[in-house]
Amino acid sequence: MMNESISQGEASGATPLSGETFSAWLAATVRTLGGHSAACLHLDNPVLLEHIRANHELNRAWLDSGQAGEMEYLFRHAAMKDDLHVTLPSARSVIVVTFRNKWGHPDAAHPFPVPAPGAPVGYISAYAKERDYHHVGQELLSGLAAELVSLSGRDVGWAIGVDTKPVYERLLALTGGLGVQGGNDLLRTPELNVRVFIGCLFVDCRLPEVIRTPKMLFPCETCRACVKRCPTGALEFGKPIDARKCISYLTIEKRTVLDREDGAKIEDWLFGCDWCTTVCPVGDAAETRIPVDLEWLLKTPAARVRKILEGTATSYAGVTQLRKTAVVLLKKNPSPQAAALLAWVRDHSGSEVVRAQLMAW
């Protein structure tokens, strides 16, 4: 639904700005609000509708292949993604933006305590540093909506999606010319490569379209570094990702017990994986992952850990999921500290999920 805090009485009118003026306004406003790039599309744009139709066929084939693993919500959302006028019946245009939250910066901050010397650790993806990108994007787009209301001089109904609505956000960004689809299935942009997030502002007025042409330094097919770096074979160039082999899926989305093969795949990752992003197009000069002391994670009261996770992307996984994965990492660790910590978990954990993982293999 459109945001109900703004009256929609005159929403069907067009903005008085011309295309070029609106394009310049949009780019400048998004940058001022902390975003990177932006495009604007009519939801009845025939190219967009054709892209959605083609994507529907690819998505259904991918879902039917089983490669989505346990992500049942993707099946539930499939029909809604295929028709934006069903999902957002009053929307007429969408502004698509890219933004980031210091993803990959060595000085990006996180709230996790420094691991004790010699402690068993697991690693969290660098994108989870700083504020949760969902919150960053929603704040940016809320500000953009307010600026749009001021610009148009009339009421505008709007709705925001930052991985929170059943829409093909990457497809919208691609159709708007904000980048290309990388070999790792992520949006790859000319300036920031794949380390960007996507947000969508749907509005019930017909804005001038802003469609860009991405000028990439080189095509993905001549590089394929992301595919080569993937340690599990989840990526094949030109094909959809096999989520069942993806470390990010295994540590974040798969909520059932990880078997021995899954455990081998996740290496020392506790949440997410950076390998296919750090090589696009060059590797990091410094370690940007978040090291987490597994003893701290398992022994600290859950409410306190939950408070640490609050406001970060790791809150999506939650304490139980992180602890389940921590058990897997410890079971692969031959050190006496790991064995002692597993014994402590066996004696003290009240989580059925954690205990099931402990006994799995």
Determine the Cα–Cα distance for residues 96 and 24; give it in Å rounded to an integer.
15
Asked if 163 is an active-site residue, the reply is yes
Pairing of strands 269-271, 121-124: parallel
Q: Which one is catalytic: 107, 132, 163, 259?
A: 163
**DSSP 8-state symbol, 93:** E
Give the type of residue at 275. W
By residue count, the chain amounts to 361
For residue 178, give both structure tokens. Answer: 């904000």
Backbone angles phi, psi at 39, to 5 degrees: -140, 165
HSE-up of residue 65 (Cα within 13 Å, Cβ side): 14
Residue 12 burial (CB count, 10 A): 13
Determine the Cα–Cα distance for residues 190 and 213; give it in Å rounded to an integer.
10
Residue 303 burial (CB count, 10 A): 8
The gap from C-alpha 212 to its chain's centroid, in whole angstroms, comes to 23
Is-contact 297 305, C-beta < 8 A? yes
The candidate with the shortest Cα–Cα distance to 262, out of 280, 248, 275, is: 248
Cβ within 8 Å of residue 287, ≥6 positions away: none
Q: Which residues are catalytic?
A: 163
